[in-house]
Structure 1
Amino acid sequence: MRTSIATVCLSGTLDQKLVAAREAGFDGVEIFEPDLVAAPQSPEAIRARAEQLGLSLDLYQPFRDFEGVGPELLEPNLRRARAKFALMNRLGIETMLLCSNVATARSGDEHLAAAQLRLLGDAAERFGVRIAYEALAWGRFVDSYEAAARIVRLSDHPRVGLCLDSFHILSKGHDPEAIETIPAEKIFFVQMADAPLLSMDVLSWSRHHRLFPGEGGFDLGTFMGHLARTGYDGPVSLEIFNDTFRQSDPFATALHARRSLRWLEHETASSLGPTRGGRAVQMTTDALPSVAPPADVNYVELRTRELPELRRLLRQLGFNSRGTHRTKAVELWSQGDARIVLGAPDSTRPQPTVAGIGLSVSDPATALRRARDLFAPDVPRDEAAGDEPLVGVRAPDGSEVFFGAEGTTEPKWVDEFGSPPPEESPMIDRVDHVNLAQPWQYFDAAVLFFHAVLDLHAEASIDVAAPVGLVRSQVLRSDDGVLRIALNLVPSGASEDAILPQHVAFATSDVLSFARASRERGFRPLDIPANYYDDLEARFALDPALLDGLRELNVMYDRDESGEFLHFYTHPVGTVFLEVVERRGAYAGYGALNAPVRLASQYRHRHSANEGEPA
C-alpha cells in the first residue's frame, strides 16, 4: 500500500509537515492549497524539498465549484483551472482534486456536468495532468460517489477520474459495495478518514470531527476490501479535518497517522480473507501478527512524589510490601494477584503517574512484533544478570506497556524484590481496570494505540459531568474482560489544579467486608454525600440493611439487568487514587452514573485541602 497524508492533517509550516510525514514513514503527501499559498518557498523549491526527503507529491487540492454552472462561469472556471494546472507542473504534481460543486451549480443535469468535465479534461491534457472528481457529502447536486462515477463515465475522458473519500461515502450511509463496479483505472485517488458516529450536519461533522482510521465508528476494513477488489494500486491517503490534530505536535501526529494506516492495512487483509477474493488485488495488504488476549494484568507501575502517603494507603488496603528491587529504585506491593510497582518520577522525561502496565501474554515476542509493526517505540529495560526478560513499548502519553511470559504461579520477576509472598488470605483478587486520564493532544492517539497494539475493542464513549467540565470517557477491553483500559479526556482549557487524577481499580468478592477491614486499619474512604444515598434508595428500592451498609462505608452502587456493582474510592494521593470494586452476576460496566458524584467529591476535597479547610 502506497501511503500518503494531506498536509491539512498536521500543524506547523509546510516544511515541518513534509519533514514530519517523511520521518513517520509516509511515501507521499497531498498539498493542501492554503499551505502552499502561505509558504515562502517557490513551487520549485517545494518540489525540490520533497524530492530531497524522498516524498512524492501525490495530489493538489482542492479545486472547487466547477461543474453544473452556466456559460457565464464556465470560461472563468477553465481559466482558473489552467492557472492551477501550470502551478501543478511547477510542483511536479500530476493529479488535482476536484470537489463537486456546493455553491455555484445551477443544474443537476449529469450530461451537462460530464460535458464540462470533458472540457476540463481537455485543458488538463495540455498540461499532462489528471482530474480526480470527488462527490462531497454536501454537494448541491452531486453528493454520492455513484453519481460522480456516472458523470466521470459520461465525460469519457482519459484525464478525468474519481477520488473516493471514505468520509463522504460512509457519513451519508451510502453502501460502498458498488465501488467494485468501478474500473480501477478510473479511480485516480483514495482518501481515508474515520469519524465518531454523530448526529449533526455533515459539513460540521466533516470539518471538526474526522479521525484517523481505527478511532471512530466507520467500517473501514470492509470499505477497503471493496476498493482492493477493483485492483486499485494508487496511494491510500489520509485527509483528516480535526481541531485537535491541527494544534498538536506534527511529528507525533504524523506517527499516529502512519499507525492508523498500518492498522487499516491489517483490517483490509482481514476483510479480504485468506483468498483475497474477486479481481486481482494489487495493494499490499499484510495482516498484523495475531495476539491472544492477556492472561492477566501482571502489574501496574505508579510513579509519584507522594511515596510515604501512597505506602500508607496501600497498607490500609491490606497490601504487603515485597521489598525494593535489587538493582532499580522501585518497590513492589502486592495482594492476591494485584501488584503495584512503586517509585519516584523519572526526572529525565515527562511521565504520567500510572507510568506502566505489565501484561502476561502467551507469546511476548509476537506481542512486541505487532507493536513494532504499528510503530510503537521500544522501551528498553535495564536488566542485570538473572533478571527476568521483559519487553515493552511506549504509549502516546509516555506510559509504558510491558509483555511478560504467561505462567501458572507468580511471575519470575517478583523474585527480584526478595521478600516472599504473605501467608494471610488476600481480600483483593486482581486488577479490575486501569483508568488513564489523557491530555487533549493524546486522547485519540491513545484510543488507536490500545485498540490496534493490544487488539482491544472500544466500547461506546460517554460524557460525564464534572466540576471542571464534561469529561469524555472511552473504555477499551479484551473480549474476556481481563484487561480493561478506561481513557478519560481532560477537558480542554482545564487549569492545572483541575487535572483529572488517574486510578487503578482492584477486584474483590466482598467489598463491604473489605471496606470494614480497611477502616480498622485506619483507612478513610472518599466522602460520598447523603444526597447520593437518598437518590439511590429512590432509584433501586434497596434492602434497608444493604443501603445502611453502603452509606456507613461510603460504598457506591449500580445495577443493570446483568448484575450489580459495588465500589468505593480512596482520596487522591497527588494525581492518583485507588478504587475497590465488586461485580455481582455478569455486570460489565463501571458505575457511570456514579462518576459525577465521585468527581465532585474529589474536586471538593482537593480544593478544601488547597485552601486549608477541613476535607
Structure 2
Amino acid sequence: MKIDGIDHAEFYVGDAQQWAFYLCTVFGFRLAGQAGPETGLTGQRSLLLRQGGTRVLLTSALTPDHPAAEYVRRHGDGVATLAFEVSDAQQAYETVIERGAVSVEKPVVHSRCGTKVVTASVLGFGDVAHRFVQRTGDGDEFLPGLMDMFTDDPEQAEPLISVVDHAAVCLPAGQLDETVSFYEEVFGFSQIFEEFIEVGEQAMNSKVVQSPSGKITFTLIEPVTDRRPGQIDDFLTRHGGAGVQHLALLTDDIVSTVGALEDRGLTFLSTPGSYYDELKRRLGRTDVGMEDLRRTNVLVDSDHWGQVFQIFTRSMHVRQTYFWEVIDRHGARTFGSGNIKALYEAVEREGADV
C-alpha cells in the first residue's frame, strides 16, 4: 500500500457557500467545482476550492438524514474527511480493512470522458474518515460524472500556500497511545516526535505520526487528567469528542503571506515581546529577520535539520474549536518544542480576552 499525500480535506459545514466566500476572500482560495442534485450528487451540496496543491471540499447536507447533518449537529462545522492520494484505492482499502480498519464506504468508480477516479473510505479517529483516492486521466477533474468543474481564471493571483503540511488532532485522555498504534499498524505510519507540554497548571501529551512518504503528518494531542482542565479539554467538550483542531498550510515566504492575509482581514494570535527577547538566546541566528518576526507575530523553532516558522489564526468557529495555521519550513522536518508551548500559551491569552 503506497500513500502519496493529502488529496483533499473535506469539511462538513452548515453553509458551504458562506465558508467558500470566507476562504476565497480571506485565504485566496478559488472556486474550482460544484456538485449537488443537479449533477447527480443527491442529498448534499459540495463546493471544491483550490489553492496551489491544496484542495478543500465543503459539503452541506440538503436532507436531515445526510451524514453531514448529523456531523454538524454533534460537532459544528469541521473536518470530516482527510483524503489520501493512493495508486490503488481498492488495494489500499482491502489492506487496511484486513488490518482492522472500519469501513465507511466500499470502493466506488467515478468516470467521465476517459478520466477515472476510484474512492473508498475507512474510519480514522473520532468521526473523521480517511478516503483513499486513485486518479487517472485529466488531473483537473475532481469527481468525474458528479461534479461540474469551473474554468481557471487567467488573471488569478499567485497562490500564497501550496499544500497541507499537517493536521493537529485533539484526542480524549487515554487515547493517544492507541491512536499512534492504529496509524502505525493499519496505515504504516511512523512516530517521529513526542513531547510533554506544560502551560501553567494544565498539561498535555503530544506525539506526531507520519506516512512513509513524509507527506502526511498528524500531530496527536491528549490532555493530562491530573492537571487543571484546559484548552484541549475545552475543545473535546465543545467539539463533542476527538477531532481536527487545525490544518497547517505550507508557504515558502511566511512574512509576505501573513502580510497578505492580514490585508484581507485575517486575524492571527499575538505573541508577547518577551518571546522575541528570548529568541536570540534560545536559537541564535534565525533565517528570517527578528524584526519581521516580531512585527508579524511569527513563531520560530528548530530541529536537527533546520528551522520552522509558524503562526496560528484566531478561531472564527462559533464553538471556538477549529482554526488554521500557516507554516514555513527552512529544512525542518518535525516541530520544535518551543513553538508548541507558545501556541497553547497564545490560545490561553485569547481565551482570557474573550
Q: Name the TM-score class by shorter chain.
A: 0.7 to 0.9
- Aligned partner of 2:161 among 387, 409, 428: 428
Residue 371 in 1 paired to residue 96 in 2? Answer: yes
Contact preservation (8 Å) 2:100, 2:186: no
- Aligned partner of 1:397 among 126, 141, 153: 126
Find the counterpart in structure 1 of residue 79 from structure 2.
354
- Aligned partner of 1:601 among 343, 346, 352: 346
Amino acid at match of 2:184: H
Give the 5 Å matches for 1:379-418. 379-380=104-105, 388-406=117-135, 410=139, 412-413=141-142, 416-418=147-149
Contact preservation (8 Å) 1:568, 1:579: yes
Distance 2:15 2:275 in 1: 30
Residue 297 in 1 paired to residue 6 in 2? Answer: yes
Structure 1's 346 and 481: CA in aligned 2 closer, same or farther, altered over 3 A? same
**1:460-517: CA deviation from partner (whole Å, max 9, x where unpaired):** 4211123572111111112331111111113448478722661111111111111122
Contact preservation (8 Å) 1:502, 1:576: yes
Structure 1's 369 and 542: CA in aligned 2 closer, same or farther, altered over 3 A? same
Contact preservation (8 Å) 2:29, 2:51: yes
Structure 1's 490 and 354: CA in aligned 2 closer, same or farther, altered over 3 A? farther
Give the 5 Å matches for 1:56-205. none
The number of equivalent residue pairs is: 317
- Aligned partner of 1:332 among 33, 44, 48: 48
List alignment gaps of at least 5 residues for structure 1.
Answer: 1-290, 610-615
Residue 584 in 1 paired to residue 330 in 2? Answer: yes
Distance 1:311 1:564 in 2: 34
Contact preservation (8 Å) 2:108, 2:120: no
Give the 5 Å matches for 1:141-540. 291-292=1-2, 294-304=3-13, 308=18, 311-313=21-23, 315-326=25-36, 327=41, 328-344=44-60, 346-348=68-70, 350=74, 353-380=78-105, 388-406=117-135, 410=139, 412-413=141-142, 416-423=147-154, 424=156, 425-440=158-173, 442-466=175-199, 469-492=202-225, 494=229, 498-499=234-235, 502-540=245-283
Distance 2:221 2:310 in 1: 19
Residue 569 in 1 paired to residue 312 in 2? Answer: yes
Contact preservation (8 Å) 1:297, 1:482: yes
Amino acid at match of 2:34: T
**1:223-244: CA deviation from partner (whole Å, max 9, x where unpaired):** xxxxxxxxxxxxxxxxxxxxxx
Contact preservation (8 Å) 1:397, 1:446: no
Give the 5 Å matches for 1:17-56. none
Query: Which structure: larger Rg?
Result: 1
Structure 1's 568 and 468: CA in aligned 2 closer, same or farther, altered over 3 A? same
Structure 1's 495 and 483: CA in aligned 2 closer, same or farther, altered over 3 A? closer
Structure 1's 409 and 458: CA in aligned 2 closer, same or farther, altered over 3 A? farther
Percent of aligned positions that are identical: 22
- Whose strand fraction is larger, Structure 1's or Structure 2's? 2
Contact preservation (8 Å) 1:396, 1:442: no
**1:383-435: CA deviation from partner (whole Å, max 9, x where unpaired):** 79758431010124121001011558636325615323444322211111111
Structure 1's 334 and 381: CA in aligned 2 closer, same or farther, altered over 3 A? farther
Contact preservation (8 Å) 2:93, 2:107: no
Distance 1:309 1:532 in 2: 34
Structure 1's 329 and 443: CA in aligned 2 closer, same or farther, altered over 3 A? farther
Matched residue of 1:357: which SS? strand
Distance 1:411 1:442 in 2: 39
- Whose helix fraction is larger, Structure 1's or Structure 2's? 1
Distance 1:468 1:578 in 2: 25
Matched residue of 1:522: which SS? coil
Contact preservation (8 Å) 1:325, 1:417: yes
Matched residue of 2:310: which SS? strand
Q: CA RMSD in A?
A: 3.0
Amino acid at match of 1:356: T
Give the 5 Å matches for 1:538-549. 538-542=281-285, 546-549=289-292
Q: Which has the higher contact order (CA 8 A, sep 6+)?
A: 2
**1:60-111: CA deviation from partner (whole Å, max 9, x where unpaired):** xxxxxxxxxxxxxxxxxxxxxxxxxxxxxxxxxxxxxxxxxxxxxxxxxxxx
Structure 1's 429 and 385: CA in aligned 2 closer, same or farther, altered over 3 A? closer
**1:83-141: CA deviation from partner (whole Å, max 9, x where unpaired):** xxxxxxxxxxxxxxxxxxxxxxxxxxxxxxxxxxxxxxxxxxxxxxxxxxxxxxxxxxx
Distance 2:128 2:312 in 1: 23
Amino acid at match of 2:339: N
Structure 1's 561 and 374: CA in aligned 2 closer, same or farther, altered over 3 A? closer
Greater shift after overlay, 516-525 or 357-366?
516-525
Distance 2:24 2:184 in 1: 31
Amino acid at match of 1:366: Q
Distance 2:347 2:15 in 1: 17
Distance 2:100 2:305 in 1: 39
Contact preservation (8 Å) 2:188, 2:212: no
Find the counterpart in structure 2 of residue 130 from structure 1.
none
What is the deviation of 1:547? 0.7
